[in-house]
Structure 1
């Protein structure tokens, strides 16, 4: 696909990410997460370290109300219990009614029927953004049976055309996470080469990124930055922090702690100096 992109000199993602990080820290976005039981604590700590305000409200009769007052919402399908499924639908209805941006993370969709049906139902409600690995994006686009649980069995490049088509069909920004992250609104495509493989060795390393995207979308609401920029900025800040954490880590355990410290410490100058971004229009 990269051969079909026209370079777009108007894309200054590093500058936009640095600016949005400042906005987020000055006015911490209330980030409502309905996420899986395996990663709830880590996700909340990631948001706190970055400077956002997490809220893990996944109870029916509260989720919709809370989504209406939140700055951004994450719906993560990692452990879709009956209660969480009902709360997710309620939260999306509340977010839609109030104009709250929301992110869908279709964890392990494709091979597992309950979450796959729920993912397609939620996509019909037009998420602001859809984040997943290549296999998950191919699955929600109807082009694959999915990966091996949360692990991708497809490459980012293999999912590129599906991501563009899914974005055009839904109006969502689609983010494909991998060694190279691909983010598209169906017309513009960004490729981000930051990050570290230790993110794949820590439970919640990918799921927490969906929450960071919801936080950045919330922070961007009162700015001129659009959803593509906010989602890509979230990925850039998170992956640059991961690189900094990996530099001092000796393995997955120390990396998980170092990532929280790096998210708290990363600043605008780090983003501008460390960004490795390619962008263009179709």
Structure 2
């Protein structure tokens, strides 16, 4: 019997019916995020203006919100889109980039959390701080290992009734009860800007594919990234060649390879 929650099955389902995903992301990430989504098989829309964000969220399969280059106007669009997605029953993903850095960011994330994100994806420092802990993060960079964020991730998931993904050398996904670790990727990935932001968008694509199963959707997205990253890294000479090889690896990744190469561990 086919397992409909298997990452390979979900990848096939996503490609068979490419979801429209509204990606409210940052200036740095827009191009690479859109290319990552297209390479994986999804349909991205970088719609963020307050005047249309809510309307677009209602017709999208999922919404992703990344606060990397935050402004008052963009925040208004984010809030209206999240409200619309929640009202329409659409999954939405929050990427709380450097939310601890300024009062404006802290207030913005607090407002967004009130709108009950389906999934939160961040690095270890962001997740630790979001749960009220003391992180070593500086700007958008994580200075904490994923394993130190595990308790914080479970706490966040339980408090907000969502799935939490912590990404790093070995990724972690939890819904507060069950937890998975995903191994793979490449040491070159942190040297290519906005790959984490792009992953947030891909999580949205998988969530749109299986909107009632955010946990397995998140695991599948991270597994796809890990396998493609590992393959691209094996052939790359540096971050420049890794960037285009990663897009090629995403495009070429098939269900058989994903099933064979994904390393998903029960924690």
TM-score, normalisation: structure 1:
0.91
Is 1:134 the counterpart of 2:121? The answer is no
By how many angstroms is 1:105 displaced? 0.2
> Where does residue 3 of structure 1 map in the other structure?
none
Deviates more, 1:103-112 or 1:62-71: 103-112
Partners of 2:97 and 2:7 lie apart in 1 by 26
Superimposed CA distance per residue, residues 65-118 of structure 1 (whole angstroms, 9 cap, x where no aligned partner):
000110111100100111110100010011001011000000111122211211
Partner of 2:226: 239
Matched with 2:194 is: 204
How much does 1:14 deviate? 11
Distance 2:185 2:111 in 1: 32
Determine if the alignment matches structure 1 residue 257 to structure 2 residue 247.
Answer: no
- Is 2:236–2:245's contact at 8 Å kept on the other side of the alignment? yes
In structure 1, the partner of 2:56 is 66
CA contact (8 A) 2:226 2:262 kept: no
- What are the equivalent positions in structure 2 for 1:81-230 lying under 5 Å apart? 81-144=71-134, 147-221=137-211, 226-230=213-217
Q: Is the 8 A contact 2:146 2:167 kept in 1?
A: yes
Residues 15, 272 of structure 1: 8 Å contact kept: no
* Deviations 1:182-239 (CA, angstroms, capped at 9, x unpaired): 1000000101111111110001111100000000000113xxx611000010000111
Question: What's the secondary structure of 1:217's corresponding residue?
Answer: helix
Secondary structure of the corresponding residue to residue 188 of structure 2: helix
Find the aligned partners of 2:89 and 2:100 in 1 and give their Cα distance: 29
Counterpart check, 1:38 vs 2:28: yes
CA distance in 2, matches of 1:276, 1:121: 36
TM-score by length of 2: 0.96
Using the TM superposition, give the Cα deviation of residue 145 of structure 1 relative to its aligned residue in structure 2, in angstroms: 5.1
In structure 2, C-alpha distance between the alignment counterparts of 1:119 and 1:204, rounded to whole Å: 19
Bigger mean CA offset, 143-152 vs 128-137? 143-152
CA offsets 1:165-184 (integer angstroms, 9 cap, x no match): 11001011000001010100
Measure, in 1, the Cα distance between the counterparts of 2:251 and 2:73.
33
Q: Secondary structure at the match of 2:195?
A: coil
Question: What stretches of structure 2 of length at least 5 have no aligned partner?
Answer: none
Is 1:120–1:140's contact at 8 Å kept on the other side of the alignment? no
Distance in 1 separating the partners of 2:43 and 2:104: 30
Contact preservation (8 Å) 2:170, 2:181: yes
Asked if the contact 2:180/2:265 (under 8 Å) is kept, the reply is yes
CA drift at 1:144: 2.2
**8 Å contact kept, 2:24–2:47:** yes
Query: 5+ unaligned residues in a row in structure 1: which ranges?
Result: 1-11
Confirm or deny that 1:57 pairs with 2:44: no
How many residues of Structure 1 are paired with residues of Structure 2 in the alignment?
266
- Give the secondary structure class of the aligned counterpart of 1:23: helix
